[in-house]
Amino acid sequence: MNTADRYGDTRRLIDTHGWAVIGVFPTSAEDGPPFSYTVGLTDRGLPELAIYGLPPHTAHGVLNAAARKALDHGQLPCGEPLSEVLAGGLTVVALTMDDTDDLTTVRALYGAVLAAQQILWPDAHGRMPWQDWDLGDIQPLHGGVPT
């Protein structure tokens, strides 16, 4: 199967909706947490978005809301709380991804990951993974911590 056939469904989603969301679900804990990421925002001059550690339906909802926000307002501001992405008034934070190895479909379709942001979500107490986080390694950081 060639690359065009292999990624045909993804390209159709991008053409129809502006982007696609890819879910990755490791089969064992040693393979890391589940994660999801967008493909297609590159076509609009925006960073692709990734999120780790959330169930697929939730992750896709968050990424779709964040992608709409980016399309409406431009690149998401790094390190600043973003509202209207999570339910219940909780905020997320977007950080520049330094490690984009996981975004394999982006690389396959564009030849490289030109830019990506990780969407980070809080624990039940509103803390982020670089703070007094109580959820372990479910949300690994793929970029620098905001200052």
pLDDT at 29 (0 to 100): 72
Is residue 127 assigned to a domain? no
Over range 59-77, report the average pLDDT: 94
**Tell me: the pLDDT tens digits for 90-99?**
889 999 999 9
Is residue 86 assigned to a domain? yes
104 pLDDT above the threshold of 70: yes
Is residue 140 assigned to a domain? no
Question: pLDDT confidence of 59, banded at 50, 70, 90?
Answer: very high
141 pLDDT above the threshold of 70: yes
Lowest mean pLDDT among 6-10, 45-49, 82-86: 82-86
Is residue 40 assigned to a domain? yes
pLDDT at 2 (0 to 100): 55
61 pLDDT above the threshold of 60: yes
Dihedral Cα 68, 87, 136, 118, nearest 10 deg: 10
Percent of the chain residues topping a pLDDT of 90 = 68
Is residue 125 assigned to a domain? no
Is residue 142 assigned to a domain? no
Handedness of CA 61, 99, 104, 70 (dihedral sign): positive
Is residue 34 assigned to a domain? yes
- For residue 49, the enclosing domain spans 3-120
Q: Could you give the number of structural domains in the chain?
A: 1
Dihedral Cα 104, 109, 110, 112, nearest 10 deg: 20
pLDDT at 113 (0 to 100): 97
Q: How far is it, in rounded angstroms, from Cα 106 to Cα 37?
A: 9
Structure tokens at 25: 């679900």
CA atoms within 13 A on the CB side of 32: 11
Is residue 131 assigned to a domain? no
- Contact between 39 and 14 (Cβ < 8 Å): yes
Over range 119-141, report the average pLDDT: 89
Tell me which residue has tokens 């045909």. 8
